[in-house]
């Protein structure tokens, strides 16, 4: 192994106290961040649902789908 390469593992073993300090520091920062996280048991959210009833006497279901339902869906989603 060449002498000029940086070896993080060897540095961590050699500087054990610094390594343990950094592990504790990062763990503490993670714990603080976790405790500051906003939580809600039942978070509020909105479900957008719409029901529309249309009538076209004499039209087949396919005609209703093609000429009414799809056009209404596209228009109302805008």
Q: What value does the mean pLDDT take over residues 5-32?
A: 96
- Taking only the tens place, the pLDDT of each residue in 23-51 is 999 999 999 999 999 887 887 888 888 88
The encoded tokens of residue 42 equal 């039942």
Report residue 2's pLDDT band, with 50, 70 and 90 as the boundaries.
low
- Taking only the tens place, the pLDDT of each residue in 55-67 is 889 999 999 999 9
Q: What value does the mean pLDDT take over residues 60-76?
A: 90
């Amino acid at each position: 192994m060449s002498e000029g390469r940086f070896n993080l593992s060897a540095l961590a073993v050699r500087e054990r106290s610094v390594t343990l300090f950094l592990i504790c520091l990062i763990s503490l920062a993670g714990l603080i961040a976790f405790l500051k996280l906003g939580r809600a048991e039942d978070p509020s959210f909105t479900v957008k649902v719409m029901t529309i009833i249309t009538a076209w006497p004499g039209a087949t279901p396919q005609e209703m789908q093609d000429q009414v339902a799809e056009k209404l869906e596209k228009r109302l989603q805008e």
